[in-house]
Amino acid sequence: MKSPLLGGLTARDFLRRYWQKRPLFVRSALPQFQGVVDARTLSGLAARDDVESRIVERRGRRRETAHGPFSVARSTSLKPNSTILVNGVNHHVAAADALLQRFAFVPQARLDDVMVSYATPGGGVGPHIDRYDVFLLQGPGRRLWRVQGKRYLAHPGDLLYLPPGVRHDGVALDRCFTYSIGFRAPRGTELGAAFLDWLHERGLPQADYRDAGMKPAARPGELPKAMVSFADALLARIRWSRSDVERFVGEYLSEPKPHVVFSPGRGRRACASSIVRLDAKARLLYRGRRFFLNGESFELSGKRAAGLRELADHRLAEGARLARVGLASLISRWQRLGYAHLEKK
């Protein structure tokens, strides 16, 4: 289906022609878009210690960055040439989460968050390159983008897609809001270090080096052959399978960021008479029979697995359907932990 959000392209055509290939500017991707937060709401989020925020001020050719939380007074009285940026707004504002889900033609494992920036005239973070894909949706106000020698004047509802590695710079012409829909892209070094930690927690071989019977060193600066052989033999014992990698990747990509906090659920609404909705901060992924929720994994099969896949794909499901296949107790537990919410039909 062709989408105004993608300039009249289908999701398939967009992914084939533009995704990680070249920028795309869409005029009126969301016509008359007026945003989902105002300056006061954004300031309230920036004052919280469970929300990542920063203020960037331009002073001549230099930019100074301060990290939150900030007092409401500071974030609501920005100086000229300043920007406040708040990450993870979709975790706290339902409309921002709904905006993020409009981009779910990309797998949930790749969706990251909605960052909202509010800038005074002249505000911006400066020319930079991101290592991840990003959609930049203009809210109220105007912003001038410079991308690879081209200029784009963004009005409310205009959308700019940028693949990784594209240098860009956006400057506010008015007091304006910009919504950044970002995507997760773990780097190789991060992935490798995290995988070794994961293996270590699950029994990475451990042994203490011993050198009984060692003779006096003729060349004290030389690396001992026995020590190299010890390390070689130990590391050769490390083994993993495709299944291990799959489990690791699922747990790694579903792990909430360190500052994310879940609020325990209240109420005792029955699953069978409710709509089940995942909390905006919860990440539920799956691969075959294995499911990954907030850094943990478990297996289900048959109708239970099918029901949970539906919840993972759409992030909400009919409670009656989930109850019929035997998931009521699991959903009730998630509700108590704050991972899911039971809403009135």
According to DSSP, the residues that pair with 114 across neighbouring strands are: 181
How far apart, in whole angstroms, are the C-alpha atoms of residue 63 and residue 83? 11
Domains identified in the chain and CATH numbers: 2-183 (2.60.120.650), 271-344 (3.40.366.30)
Residue 87, sorted as left (phi over 0), alpha (psi -120 to 50) or beta, turns out to be beta
How far apart, in whole angstroms, are the C-alpha atoms of residue 72 and residue 68? 11
pLDDT tens, residue order, the chain (345 aa): 888 899 999 999 999 999 999 999 999 999 989 999 999 999 999 999 999 999 999 988 889 999 999 998 888 889 999 999 999 999 999 999 999 999 999 999 999 999 999 999 999 999 999 999 999 999 999 999 999 999 999 999 999 999 999 999 999 999 999 999 999 888 889 999 999 889 888 776 677 888 888 888 888 898 989 899 988 988 888 889 999 999 999 999 999 999 999 998 877 788 989 999 999 999 999 999 999 999 999 999 999 999 999 999 999 999 999 999 999 999 999 999 999 999 988
Among the listed residues 111, 140, 175, the one whose alpha carbon sits nearest the alpha carbon of residue 30: 140
Task: Determine if the pTM surpasses 0.85.
Answer: yes
How far apart, in whole angstroms, are the C-alpha atoms of residue 339 and residue 299? 18
DSSP symbols for 173-196: SSSEEEEEEEE----HHHHHHHHH
How far apart, in whole angstroms, are the C-alpha atoms of residue 50 and residue 48? 5
Query: CB within 8 A of 29, min separation 6: which ones?
Result: 4, 5, 6, 7, 137, 157, 158, 159
Query: CB within 8 A of 23, min separation 6: which ones?
Result: 147, 148, 160, 161, 162, 163, 166
Q: Decide if 317 contacts 276 (C-beta within 8 A).
A: yes
